[in-house]
Structure 1
Amino acid sequence: MDHLADIRKYSPTAKAEVVAAMEKTYRLVLSKPDSSMVSFSDPAELATVRENFVKKKLGITGDDAALDAEIKKIGEKIPGRKNRLTVYYLLAEHHGKLALFA
């Protein structure tokens, strides 16, 4: 999959070097068809995104309900199947944390 092209559908100025770094970081997760996508209909999956990516990786603190609303808003931007790397990039961009991957 061309992750950069997918991300640029929603963030036209997405940085190739950041996407490449994210691909390297999440290579194992992205290699499996099931885990390479985020299921926005699964509350447990969204909790995992919140806890493991938003809180742990990005270092964002705050009310779980507010973080969940932000995650849901990102999901609403992406029609159909939601590629995990696209979701992660858009969340990092939203929180001003792309430098973590640069």
Structure 2
Amino acid sequence: MGKRDELIAKYAEDLTSKIKVTPDLALLTKVTIGCGPAIYSSDASTVAASDPEELETVKKNFLIKKLGLADGPELDAGIKAAVEAYGSSERNKYRAVFYYLLVKHFGKEAVYA
């Protein structure tokens, strides 16, 4: 099993144990691949949900550019929902899991089809 496969298994475990959802492994794999080399960096592999600048970057670079969503208050609400689903007390919010939650929240699975 390669490093990426190990990370995907870890992300699936997070979704199952912490968020209590059964992950769509095909989608999770595509979202993880879409994160690129960031998943291998200890800093870039997680989302600092308590940092407003980090959340603004997620909104601009992922929700608007990658998913093609229009800017508006619903994007902030979606980010907030993902933070709450992951648990605000959970320090390590893996970027791939966070993005997966956003894709599901906004129904944008087709972007990864």
Q: TM-score range by the shorter chain?
A: 0.7 to 0.9
TM-aligned CA distance change 1:11 to 1:53, over 3 Å: farther
Segments ≥4 residues shifted beyond 4 Å: none
- How much does 1:11 deviate? 5.7
Decide which of 15, 37, 42 is 1:7's aligned counterpart. Answer: 15
Q: TM-score, normalised by structure 2?
A: 0.79
**Unmatched runs of 5 consecutive residues or more in structure 2:** 1-6
Matched, 1:93 2:90: no
Q: Once the two structures are aligned, what percentage of the paired residues are identical?
A: 35
In structure 1, C-alpha distance between the alignment counterparts of 2:107 and 2:57, rounded to whole Å: 20
CA deviations over 1:34-88 (Å, ceiling 9, x no partner): 011111111110000000111111111131x431232022102213121111110
> Of the candidates 68, 84, 93, which is equivalent to residue 82 of structure 1?
93
Could you list the runs of 5+ residues in structure 1 that have no partner in the other structure?
A: none
Helix, strand or coil: the match of 2:76?
A: helix
The CA RMSD measured in Å over matched residues stands at 1.6
Which structure 2 residues correspond to residues 12-31 of structure 1 after superposition, within 5 A? Answer: 12-31=21-40
Which structure has the higher relative contact order (CA within 8 Å, separation 6+)?
Answer: 1
